[in-house]
Structure 1
Amino acid sequence: MDIQQAVKTVLANYAKFEGRSGRPEYWWWVLAYFLAAIVAAFVGGMLGMGELVLNLLTLALLVPNIAVGVRRFHDIGKSGWWLLIGLIPLVGWIAVIYFAVQPSQGPNQYGEGPQGPAA
């Protein structure tokens, strides 16, 4: 999976909170979102709109960010509610990153596992 395919997959599953997302899909999405945020902040600054453009991007991609996070937690066998641990300052983000880097497990209560690209 490459960055383009990950972005298409996440946006196609915009509000899908069931199922699983593998590490490549999740981390490519995080990178794409980070790069889009940098561009949005730059464009907003150039247009004299301050943080408006960045805030609009954040709001527009809030649901897919949560959905891919929930599916990533499902992939390691945890409930999506564990994503809320990220609300704890500093320690929560460290925990979310720790869980997000864990390898995919075999079949679990959330499904068979993320499907790779069709060959």
Structure 2
Amino acid sequence: MTFVDAIKVCFSKYADFSGRAGRSEFWWWVLFNFLAYIALAVVSDKLALVFMVATLVPYFAVTARRLHDTDRSGWLQLVGLIPLVGWVFVIVWCAQDSKSPNKYA
């Protein structure tokens, strides 16, 4: 999946927490959010905050779909609320290979 395709898919599945998302879709979305936030923060902090809030739901949705692709529940992204250690677990889970036959197919 290309950078532009991943952004289109994530915005078209704005609040779709079901299904699966491949690694490329997830990581392109993360890169897009990071770059857009930095660019907007240079222009205006308030604009960057609005962008962050507007992309929060699709960020959670694509993360849930990515965890589904690794045969995990999307609710496991709540582990990221644990300071420091939680983020590491979520990043490792999202970086893992897809598991082909899984219950979220």
- For 1:1-119, list aligned pairs within 5 A: 1-44=1-44, 51-111=45-105
Q: Number of aligned pairs?
A: 105
RMSD (Å), alpha carbons: 0.6
What is residue 47 of structure 1 aligned with on the other side? none
**Which of structure 1's runs of 4+ aligned residues deviate more than 3 A?**
none
Q: Which has the larger radius of gyration?
A: 1
Listed one character per residue, the Cα deviations across residues 72-105 of structure 1 (whole Å, up to 9, x for unaligned) are 0000000011000000111011001110110011
Aligned-pair CA distance for 1:107: 2.3
Aligned-pair CA distance for 1:108: 1.0
Q: Which runs of 5+ in 2 are unaligned?
A: none
When the two structures are superposed, what TM-score results if normalisation uses the length of structure 1? Answer: 0.86
Identity %: 49
Aligned-pair CA distance for 1:2: 1.0
Listed one character per residue, the Cα deviations across residues 37-80 of structure 1 (whole Å, up to 9, x for unaligned) are 01110110xxxxxx211110111001000000000000000001
| Bigger helix share | 2
Q: What letter matches 1:43 in structure 2?
A: V
Q: Distance in 2 between matches of 1:94 and 1:23?
A: 17
Q: What letter matches 1:24 in structure 2?
A: S
